Amino acid sequence: MIKIAVDGPSGAGKSSLAKAVAAKMNIVYVDTGALYRSIGLYIRRKDISPDDTATVINELPNISLDLRFENGEQHVMLCDEDVNGLIRTPEISMYASKVSAIPEVRAFLLDTQRSIAKTNDVIMDGRDIGTVIFPDADVKIFLTASIEARAKRRYEELKEKGIETTVEDVLNDMKTRDENDSTRSVAPAVAAKDAIILDNSDLTVEQTIDEAIRIINENTHKTTEQTRFYRHFYNFFHRIFKFCMHLRTTGYENVPEYNGCVVCANHVGLLDVLAISACFPRERRLRYLAKAELFKIPLLKTLIIALGACKLDRGGSDIGAIKKSVSLIKSGELVAVFPQGTRQKGKNPAETPIKSGAGMIAYHAKAPMLPVCVKMKKQKYLLFFRRVDIIIGKPIPYSELGFEKGGGAEYKAATEKVYAEICKLGGFTADISDCEDKSAE
């Protein structure tokens, strides 16, 4: 799982940034500040002073907090009440700052925050995400700005919500909160030693988002020796291969820019993997499952490993390959799978049997599926110098794949859905609903 921490002072725009990055990179956004604000709201409703530490601690067992995600948006449920619209006032902000300094409150929320990251790629914003909550985060960003810029932004935000205040009042509240947050003895709001400082005083919202995504990509996709080999190979091979095979690409813009997914294609010939790879951006290296027999050939083994292949035992259910594929996708990579399993040269793709492995991988990776159609002009003798069309369809979101509890029937249905799109892209017609499914379930 990828963990991204966004820390910084009040009003720097942490929540807005984290939400935007989560939407662009298709990861879960967790607003930790909302959790503390909810406790602050609870204490305020109970008419308890946030400075009365003992009473606040005694109330914790009575507080029920839950996070729900609807249409990509986080909703905080306080004792089964959605309080998203009630926790952004200056008064509740001050309560949140006070209660967040209590060690027992932080311990109360720690398990909630960490449990979400165990099963999702997440981006969290707060005051101590990179120092306390996720000291092992893959990327730590400390977002800051001048206090004047932050006060002006917060004032405009409150004004839009119909909350009456002044810039001076917001500035004074922010100075007080900055002092409380940065000097408290428990989890002070300071940048982690390995955090990347992002000052957005003079940046627009769009510029801040772009800079954050650049930082994340640079720190989650480190260049290894194997990826360097791939880049050199791609530069050499790309143009030559496209010329020799008369490659033509349609739908290039449908390749996900950041996120991992299951790339599903029909299997026409030996060079399908290379042909498809040549039509994808160099930065989006295709990882693919290759049959175990290929890894027994010394020179070929070295080459295909460097190009990103994962060994697959086609004789049965290879749990290791499935887990590896899921791990790669969750880390943001593209894994290519041929639902037909083996090459079906000269056959109508819509009339060939398919297997369910692609659906299984998509389910466990919680990832979309990208249909890719390979259309090769028939030519009896020449392997090269024939026209090949690579048609890339629109990704099918995970939410549209029909998964509920998983299992063979759902894997098969999801694979059939993406395979029907492949056939549609190529203009192949046949009823594939009765296709044989021989994969291990």
* Residue 283 CB contacts under 8 Å (≥ 6 apart), including other chains: none
Lateral strand order in the sheet of 369-376:
247-250, 388-392, 369-376, 261-265, 334-337, 286-291, 309-312
Q: DSSP per residue over 79-106, as a string?
A: TTEE-GGGS-SHHHHHHHHHHTTSHHHH
The tens digit of pLDDT for each residue in 181-214 reads 777 766 677 888 899 999 999 899 999 999 998 8
pTM (two decimals): 0.52
Assess whether pLDDT exceeds 70 at residue 67. yes
Give yes or no for a contact between 251 and 391, defined as CB atoms under 8 angstroms apart.
Answer: yes
- Segment 325-343 mean pLDDT: 83
Give yes or no for a contact between 95 and 44, defined as CB atoms under 8 angstroms apart.
Answer: yes
- Segment 397-425 mean pLDDT: 92
**126 three-state secondary structure:** strand
At CA 12, angle to CA 11 and CA 17, rounded to 5? 115
- Residue 11, phi-psi category: left (phi > 0), alpha (psi -120 to 50), beta (remainder): left
Confidence of residue 318 (pLDDT cuts 50, 70, 90): low
Most confident of 118-132, 175-189, 286-300: 118-132
- Segment 305-320 mean pLDDT: 64
Residue 111 Cα distances to 32, 108, 141, 165, 251, angstroms? 12, 7, 22, 36, 43
Backbone angles phi and psi of 149, in degrees to 5: -65, -40
Residue 122's pLDDT is what? 87
Range list of β-strands (E), 284-363: 286-291, 309-312, 334-337
Q: Which of 249, 288, 282, 264 is nearest to 371 (CA)?
A: 264
Residue 76's pLDDT is what? 86
